[in-house]
Structure 1
Amino acid sequence: MNRTTRQWRRTALAATATLIATLPVLPSAAPAFASTALGKASVWITNPSTKTYLSQQPPVTWKTGAAPSGSTITVDTTRKYQPMTGFGASFTDSSAWLVGTKLNAKQRNTLMRDLFSRRDGIGLSFLRQPMAATDFTASGNYSYDDMPAGQADPTLANFTIDHDRSYTIPLLKQARKINPQLTLMATPWSPPGWMKTTDTMNGGQLKPGAHQQLADYFAKFLKAYAAAGVPVRYVTPQNEPLHNTSTYPSMSLTADEAKTFINDHLAPTLRKQGLSTGILGYDHNWDVTSYPESLYTDAASAKNVTGTAWHCYAGDVSAQTVVHNDYPGKPAFQSECSGGSWEGDEQGAFAGVMDNVINGPRNWAQSIIRWNLALDSNGGPTNNGCQGCRPVVTVSPKTNGTWSYAPTVDYWGLAQASKFVQPGARRVASNTLGKGSVEDVAFTNPDGSTALVTYNSGSTARTFNVGLGNRHFTYTLAAGAAATFTWTSTQQGSTDPAAIGSVDIPFRNPDGSQALITYDSGLLAQQPQVRVGDQWLGYTLPTGASLTPPTGESALPRDGWQASASASSSDDPPSKAIDGDATTRWSLGHGMQPGDWFQLDLGSTKTFDQIVLDTSASSGDFARQYEVYTSDDGNNWGEPIATGPGSTVTRILLPTTTARYIRVVNKTTSGSWWSIHDVSVFAPAGNTTSPPATSAGLQRKNTTLPDGTKLQVTYNSGSGAATFDVPWGGTTYSYRLPAGAATILTTRPA
């Protein structure tokens, strides 16, 4: 969790108690879909407002024919997407200590059954395990190779996982025994303090000479856990590498540092040690997509990094789809998403869980992992961590000195998917009725059964249809309730692509595998667009790609420039963005809000075609969405000429424009302060020779969205970067596309 999120959480409803419900006896039978009649679908409901939790309802009967007019969720099981690895949480030290030492053997065995058995419980199948201390430990900081202050252990002679043997490893082994399909990933919040610049686990960076020591530390951990009966399938190099705090275990690790560590140390060491554990990159929030993508931009990184791990605390879940479409060969995993008191009452908390469970997979996540599997009634024990975080189950002391446990809404939200979606299930196509109505996600299981998870995020009951080929049924779902429908019959009849609302663009890799891109009109806001005549021309620009005009670029001199802004920090005035010093900055002075703006007066009318906003020295402080306006007099701005998502270095391409004033307007909310360390404006510099186009590995396809937006998609299936020409607004640009990357060019009416 990042700094801004944590500070906000501490002030939001801090006194709200952990929300719990009465644990019912879960059915000691196979999930209902296994025995449902061919003409019916089973229904399981959770509705916190009526204290109904994973309750089986009377089945619904399929009717022949197309769904009647009205709100319809159309499922198309012939359109398949990512495989699902699983749903789960984390046995943090605090969680394992509570379950392993405070519950008696009978309680513990019952709870573990309820958590991990698909037949008798909710079938959790994925655990993200911390490598040593986090912000949730029962006894403060610890690593697997602690040394006295000022001392080091470069050979790792003192390495031991003994701390985990008393209660953590026994629980992990028990979980694997109950659910043999359980997947584990492991993540350090910090290496041992002696490897770091701070000589402590709290904050700091890795010492320049410690990269191989840390790689050996990973290898020793993986081997020790495997020997203890707990094999680990994935690791990430560092939890939340863009969040660095002195209050609990953490470490800064930039994208370039991560690339060096992975390529030169971690991946070679794992291979040398005979370890097949996959490496997932990033392990942080949705709002900085350039970090994970930068790990895919060269051949070594692309080979060594299996995929990306995501957190839910900043940005939007659609970032997972953006990165997937940019690099379609790399899977996504949601590795942490905690609910808590900031979500309000039990209904608000359940809404947060269901949003995660439904929209994570809809945006290519192969896993949905909450945070603490268990905490006490005070949300602890913490290690200077999150205040008000909500676990999957609460373990609490009773007045007689014994302890008991109860599930929270996270348990029930996960259950709506985890009990019915098997590891290896494939997400399949379905439309969604959207926020404020019935949201959904659908899966087909390895046994051929189908599960449709729905949630009514509106304020009133909703009646809707579910269509599958030439059959349908109708159902009414209460506000704030979730329903999972399961059936065994196969789809008969075709599906109108317009009913789903998205298009699939498949490409073929040299090894025969498929690279699949999906697109819908909602993604338009996630890509840069420029107004050219009566059209908006859009493009995606994966990290490592470039779109270059046919003329050279010349930076306009800054003589006579003046900068202004809607607001500024007293220490960071707008003038610092144009002073030529990248160590100084303009800063907004408060969290970003729609309508915040930064403005340039170029001193006189100038001609330009590119603006670059550089926030590299404050990498997370860029505008998440922007609009660009120009003016001749500073008063009349007209319509925007460009719009798109920001990034650490935001390059805004424009049609050749003549104006004196430029205004960049922020369009979204973020807890980060908008900062600009350096702003440059470029003008065409005359004719140049474009790089020769290369076509080896390039594949192109054209398609049209149901709303009429035209798409041209180009995928580079080759082994090296390729260049090609892009006719754009009457001008031919040169596009450089890294290996394994794709670009989407869109055209729609302005």
Structure 2
Amino acid sequence: MKSLKFSSIVLIILMIASSCAKKTEVSEVEVFETSRSGNQLSKIETFSKAKSTSKISLNPEQTFQTFTGFGGSFTEASASLLNRLSEENRQKVIDAYFADSGARYSLTRTHMNSCDFSLSQYSYAPVEGDTLLKNFSIEEDKDDLIPMIKEAMNASKDGFKIISSPWTAPPWMKDNNKWVGGKLKPEYYDTWALFFSKYADAYKAEGIDIWGFTVENEPLGNDSNWESMHFSPKEMTDFVVNHLGPQLEQDGKSDLAILGYDQNREHLDEWVDEMYRDETSRKYFDGTAVHWYASTYKIFGDQLQYAKNKAPEKYLIETEGCIDAQVPVWQDDDWYWQKEATDWGYDWASEENKYLHPKYRPVYRYARDIIGCMNNEVDGWIDWNMVLDRQGGPNWFENWCIAPVIVDPDQDEVYFTPLYYTMSHFSRYIRPGAKRIAFESTDVDLQVSAATNPDGSHVVIVFNPSEEQKVFDLTLNDVSRTISISPQAIQTITIAN
């Protein structure tokens, strides 16, 4: 009898030990990788047997900003190109960005009136002196932009937010009477505020809800190249406090977000100081929008942190970034991993700022910037054009750029560049309402961020810019999983709740 009892005790101990051993690894982990070696958001199930050399530890108990979303921009250029593709390829691109099987974009942007990535210059209020905007019309958008947005809405299961941005008021409202440069005449401040409200109504009538506005795209100007209109921080804040905010409030649209600034991060301090100067201005500004063009590698983390600390409860959204001043490279994935790209600053930046614009690798630029923004309190990140052609347009100013998806409408061909897969690593897996969580990484070469989704699942982004494979232990709640990441690769690791 004693022998039987002893055997039973041993068996129980072995069962407990076996159970504990099974729990030493994180369960229900999935790993997806895009790499220079050819992975394209590929599911990775076999890992290196080499011993781990570093550790990434997650701490979901410590949380930071709540994510609004990730996505790209609807432009007339992109929409017109989709109109020239076959129905099959058009749907393929829409689904790739918005369907559950694709990137699941959740935060988007579009332009009010024309921009450089329009087919021509136009305004919804073309009639001079029409201060009550009786002739306001979005007819120009009905051929291209609106159909693209509607098709995206049909493809998206969870829906997405739309931020609308004006590049300029119609010339007749400006002190220089031109599309480019100049300022809004004070006598048209009320008319321009009404313009925003009319726009929201017109889009709603088409079945499209606008989530919010930026007050002005690039209020510091763009060297008088294409549509622009200038504001100082005080001028923009005064316009919002005395005109735009009250107009939307009066029209029952106070739920529409108003984002200030909307240009490069290096001037962020002075703008948020003015935007949040008092309780009235804080009431009307819902957040700040920024771009990435000040540098090809610098995140300007101090400025982003300053903006968040100035208004912790407000949005901080990156509303535009792209590989600019560059003609796309067609169907050559490896180019996007090479240190070959240049931007406007490579040639045109002032001597004291040229160091901010070295040659760079496009995939690296996207991965580093989005991770850097996440880790510095940015809650949304929006790419520029979703689709461009092989020239990097159409663009009336010939300001060629690269989009994640390049098409040849004459041949009815579509090319998903590595930038598309890079964007998908964030937008597909980090969902609106996710919270960034704390982590520790012992490998300084790996760039990491992490979040917990509303459903309780965890997402870890790991970028390995080095030319060697990395093996690390991913640890959560004292249990771990050993994972390897390819050289020059980005991974998304999901951990089910």
TM-score normalised by the shorter chain: which range applies?
Answer: 0.7 to 0.9
Query: Bigger shift: 424-433 or 166-175?
Result: 424-433
- Whole-Å separation in 2 of the counterparts to 1:297 and 1:60: 53
The structure having more radius of gyration, on CA atoms, is 1
- Whole-Å separation in 1 of the counterparts to 2:113 and 2:39: 38
Q: Aligned residue for 2:466?
A: 458
From 293, 300, 304, give the equivalent of 1:313: 293
- Whole-Å separation in 2 of the counterparts to 1:110 and 1:345: 24
**Partner AA of 1:374 in structure 2:** V
Q: Aligned residue for 1:164?
A: 141
Query: Bigger shift: 338-347 or 294-303?
Result: 338-347
Q: Aligned residue for 2:123?
A: 143
Q: Aligned residue for 2:454?
A: 446
Q: Percent identity?
A: 30
C-alpha displacement of 1:322: 2.2
Q: What SS class does the counterpart of residue 96 from structure 1 fall into? A: helix
- Whole-Å separation in 2 of the counterparts to 1:394 and 1:337: 16
Q: Aligned residue for 1:424?
A: 433
Q: What SS class does the counterpart of residue 222 from structure 1 fall into? A: helix
Q: Aligned residue for 1:738?
A: none
Counterparts in 2 of 1:679-698, with a 5 A limit? none
C-alpha displacement of 1:170: 1.4
**Partner AA of 1:154 in structure 2:** T
C-alpha displacement of 1:430: 1.7
Residues 55 and 474 in structure 2, CA contact (< 8 A), matched pair in contact too: yes
C-alpha displacement of 1:92: 1.1
C-alpha displacement of 1:210: 1.0
C-alpha displacement of 1:244: 4.6
Q: Deviations over 1:575-614 (max 9, x none)?
A: xxxxxxxxxxxxxxxxxxxxxxxxxxxxxxxxxxxxxxxx
C-alpha displacement of 1:60: 7.2
- Whole-Å separation in 1 of the counterparts to 2:258 and 2:411: 42
**Partner AA of 1:488 in structure 2:** A
Q: Aligned residue for 1:365?
A: 378
C-alpha displacement of 1:117: 1.3
C-alpha displacement of 1:339: 2.0
Q: What SS class does the counterpart of residue 429 from structure 2 fall into? A: coil
Q: Aligned residue for 1:29?
A: none
- Whole-Å separation in 2 of the counterparts to 1:322 and 1:369: 21
Q: Aligned residue for 2:37?
A: 50
Counterparts in 2 of 1:123-134, with a 5 A limit? 123-134=104-115
**Partner AA of 1:482 in structure 2:** I
C-alpha displacement of 1:325: 1.9
Q: What SS class does the counterpart of residue 345 from structure 1 fall into? A: helix
Counterparts in 2 of 1:477-626, with a 5 A limit? 477-489=485-497
C-alpha displacement of 1:272: 0.6
Q: Aligned residue for 2:178?
A: 200
Residues 244 and 252 in structure 1, CA contact (< 8 A), matched pair in contact too: no
- Whole-Å separation in 2 of the counterparts to 1:297 and 1:141: 36
Taking structure 1 as reference, are residues 293 and 178 closer, same or farther at Cα in structure 2, changes over 3 Å only? farther
C-alpha displacement of 1:173: 1.5
Q: Aligned residue for 2:355?
A: none
RCO higher in structure (CA 8 A, sep ≥6): 2
Counterparts in 2 of 1:48-127, with a 5 A limit? 49-58=36-45, 70-99=53-82, 101-118=83-100, 120-127=101-108
From 321, 336, 345, give the equivalent of 2:335: 345
With structure 1 as the length reference, what TM-score do the two structures score? 0.56
Residues 54 and 441 in structure 2, CA contact (< 8 A), matched pair in contact too: no
Q: Aligned residue for 1:473?
A: 481
Q: Deviations over 1:124-178 (max 9, x none)?
A: 111111112111112x21111124xxx4322212210001111211111121222
Q: Deviations over 1:76-113 (max 9, x none)?
A: 111122221211111111111111x2112222122211
| Consecutive unaligned residues in structure 2, runs of 5 or more | 1-24, 329-333, 338-360
- Whole-Å separation in 2 of the counterparts to 1:146 and 1:473: 61
Residues 76 and 430 in structure 1, CA contact (< 8 A), matched pair in contact too: yes
- Whole-Å separation in 1 of the counterparts to 2:203 and 2:131: 21
Taking structure 1 as reference, are residues 331 and 434 closer, same or farther at Cα in structure 2, changes over 3 Å only? farther
Q: Aligned residue for 1:594?
A: none
Q: Is 1:414 paired with 2:423?
A: yes
C-alpha displacement of 1:69: 8.7
Residues 154 and 213 in structure 1, CA contact (< 8 A), matched pair in contact too: yes
Taking structure 1 as reference, are residues 77 and 465 closer, same or farther at Cα in structure 2, changes over 3 Å only? same
- Whole-Å separation in 2 of the counterparts to 1:227 and 1:268: 22
Residues 181 and 423 in structure 1, CA contact (< 8 A), matched pair in contact too: no
- Whole-Å separation in 2 of the counterparts to 1:278 and 1:126: 13
Q: Is 1:335 paired with 2:322?
A: no
**Partner AA of 1:358 in structure 2:** I
Taking structure 1 as reference, are residues 385 and 262 closer, same or farther at Cα in structure 2, changes over 3 Å only? farther
Q: Aligned residue for 1:396?
A: 408
From 150, 153, 156, give the equivalent of 2:130: 153
Residues 385 and 403 in structure 2, CA contact (< 8 A), matched pair in contact too: yes
Higher strand share: 1
| Consecutive unaligned residues in structure 1, runs of 5 or more | 1-36, 62-67, 490-750
Higher helix share: 2
- Whole-Å separation in 2 of the counterparts to 1:59 and 1:156: 62
Q: Is 1:279 paired with 2:258?
A: yes
C-alpha displacement of 1:421: 1.3
Q: What SS class does the counterpart of residue 379 from structure 2 fall into? A: strand
Residues 175 and 183 in structure 2, CA contact (< 8 A), matched pair in contact too: yes
- Whole-Å separation in 2 of the counterparts to 1:340 and 1:236: 21
Residues 317 and 378 in structure 2, CA contact (< 8 A), matched pair in contact too: yes
- Whole-Å separation in 1 of the counterparts to 2:285 and 2:213: 10
C-alpha displacement of 1:38: 6.7
Taking structure 1 as reference, are residues 416 and 244 closer, same or farther at Cα in structure 2, changes over 3 Å only? closer
Taking structure 1 as reference, are residues 434 and 144 closer, same or farther at Cα in structure 2, changes over 3 Å only? farther
C-alpha displacement of 1:460: 2.5
Taking structure 1 as reference, are residues 293 and 458 closer, same or farther at Cα in structure 2, changes over 3 Å only? farther
Query: Bigger shift: 127-136 or 310-319?
Result: 310-319
Q: Is 1:326 paired with 2:310?
A: yes
C-alpha displacement of 1:402: 3.8
Root mean square deviation, CA, Å: 2.1
- Whole-Å separation in 2 of the counterparts to 1:78 and 1:284: 34
Q: Aligned residue for 1:505?
A: none
- Whole-Å separation in 1 of the counterparts to 2:265 and 2:121: 28
- Whole-Å separation in 1 of the counterparts to 2:379 and 2:370: 11
- Whole-Å separation in 2 of the counterparts to 1:488 and 1:38: 10
C-alpha displacement of 1:247: 2.6
- Whole-Å separation in 1 of the counterparts to 2:312 and 2:364: 30
**Partner AA of 1:43 in structure 2:** V
Residues 113 and 166 in structure 2, CA contact (< 8 A), matched pair in contact too: yes
Q: Aligned residue for 2:246?
A: 268
C-alpha displacement of 1:409: 2.1
**Partner AA of 1:345 in structure 2:** W
**Partner AA of 1:239 in structure 2:** N
Residues 43 and 56 in structure 1, CA contact (< 8 A), matched pair in contact too: yes
**Partner AA of 2:230 in structure 1:** S
Residues 393 and 411 in structure 1, CA contact (< 8 A), matched pair in contact too: yes
From 189, 194, 218, give the equivalent of 1:211: 189
Q: Aligned residue for 1:689?
A: none
Q: Is 1:294 paired with 2:274?
A: yes
C-alpha displacement of 1:296: 0.5
Residues 113 and 123 in structure 2, CA contact (< 8 A), matched pair in contact too: yes
Residues 276 and 310 in structure 2, CA contact (< 8 A), matched pair in contact too: no
Taking structure 1 as reference, are residues 362 and 432 closer, same or farther at Cα in structure 2, changes over 3 Å only? farther
Which runs of 4 or more aligned residues in structure 1 lie more than 4 Å from their structure 2 counterparts after TM superposition? 340-344, 432-435
Matched residue count? 435
Q: What SS class does the counterpart of residue 384 from structure 2 fall into? A: strand
**Partner AA of 1:411 in structure 2:** Y
